[in-house]
Amino acid sequence: RKEVEQDPGPFNVPEGATVAFNCTYSNSASQSFFWYRQDCRKEPKLLMSVYSSGNEDGRFTAQLNRASQYISLLIRDSKLSDSATYLCVVNSPSGTYKYIFGTGTRLKVLA
C-alpha cells in the first residue's frame, strides 16, 4: 500500500460546482495532516491543516477519519482560480516529521 494515496484526476468541474477529494494514508501513527495546493511548476502552498474534529476555511472543508486513515477535502462554489493540483500531505512519525506527499489530484474549474 502506498504511504499516501490520492486519485490523480483530473477533475474537470464547472464554476460553482462542489468537488470532493479523498486521500488515504498507511501509517496509523501519523499525527499531522495537511492539504497543500500546488500551481504548475510552483511550490506547495498550505491550504489547510486537517484535524479530527474537521475544519472549515471559507469554501474549503477538511475532514480526518483516523479509524479509516482517510482524509478529505471539499471545495464548495468552485472558482476558476481554484484550478490547481491538491496535495494530500502526512507528517511521518519517524522522528523528524518529514512530509510524505500524495501524488496530488488535479482540478480544473471550467467557465
Partner 1 sequence: EPEVTQTPSHQVTQMGQEVILRCVPISNHLYFYWYRQILGQKVEFLVSFYNNEISEKSEIFDDQFSVERPDGSNFTLKIRSTKLEDSAMYFCASGGRHTDTQYFGPGTRLTVL
User: Which stretches of the chain bind partner 1, using CB under 8 A?
Assistant: 31-32, 34, 41-46, 49, 87, 91, 94-104
Q: How far is the CB of 32 from partner 1 (least distance, A)?
A: 6
Burial class (CB in 10 A: 0-12, 13-18, 19+), 25: buried
Place of cell 502526512: 90
Q: Quick check: helix, strand or coil at residue 53?
A: coil
Q: Whose Cβ is closer to partner 1: residue 71's or residue 78's?
A: 71
8 A C-beta contact, residue 48 and residue 34? yes
Q: Whose Cβ is closer to partner 1: residue 78's or residue 84's?
A: 84
Q: How far is the CB of 30 from partner 1 (least distance, A)?
A: 11
